[in-house]
Amino acid sequence: MGSTLTGLEAATYENSTGAVELMASWIDPDFDPTLPALYYTRTLEIPTPRWTTYDAARLKQPLLDVPATV
């Protein structure tokens, strides 16, 4: 089913997709402790209201001319 924005004016949403927890392990077979290394992960998240949307809802103001979700 997925996540659903239930009301941008109220800055609410529902999450009915995905797992509660995700765990993984990874080993770099080419790791060399004598060399600098940087690792990063890319995470997929459900769309949620951005902070400006929460502020607009709390202050009962119109939404700004920016994307309402992230």
C-alpha span between 68 and 70 (Å, rounded): 7
**pLDDT per residue as tens digits for the range 2-39:** 445 457 778 888 877 777 788 889 899 999 999 999 99
When pLDDT is averaged across residues 35-59 and rounded to a whole number, the result is 88
Q: What is the pTM assigned to this prediction? A: 0.54
Higher pLDDT, 20 or 49: 49
**What is the Cα–Cα distance from 68 to 5, expressed in whole angstroms?**
10
**20 to each of 37, 38, 48, how far by Cα in Å?**
30, 28, 16
Listed in sequence order, the DSSP H helices in 1-70 are 51-59
* pLDDT at 2 (0 to 100): 47
